[in-house]
Structure 1
Amino acid sequence: MITDKFDLLGPAYADIGREAARLAGGQTNIFLYVEIGDGWVGPSLFKDEGATLRYIDPITMALSDLLMDAWCL
């Protein structure tokens, strides 16, 4: 049986969302921007605070690993 790419990416994206929300203190009003290439990943995570966006630092290796795993799918 051929696996649809979304069958693989759906759970990977859910894991990324959970880790991003954890980094934002459980908040779900967040924005994740990612640049990625062969062997590198550059994520930026922001929390919507109404009139402003707050940059969330530090980004963990766990998030970077999840992003790289999804990209490799």
Structure 2
Amino acid sequence: MDLSKQSRENIEFMLEEMKNKLQIVNAGALNAKSFDTDQYEDLRDIYELVEKKQSFSVSELDAIVSELGRLRK
């Protein structure tokens, strides 16, 4: 998948991957329709951070979810 291109499909892909890796229980909170393509670069930065790490502390998870919540429309 070419994540260098801003698209709704790429947003959906990144959010699904983050939900799975972070084991987010309330998956509805990360609905792709809740994010504008204007936020694409910020979402991609978060996605890349999540993909690089093997595990997350509780505070890291909280910070990531908070940031994703801030990006929602």
Please give the TM-score of this superposition, normalised by the length of structure 2.
0.32
Greater share of helix: 2
Please tell me whether Structure 1 or Structure 2 has the larger radius of gyration of its CA atoms: 1
Please give the TM-score of this superposition, normalised by the length of structure 1.
0.32
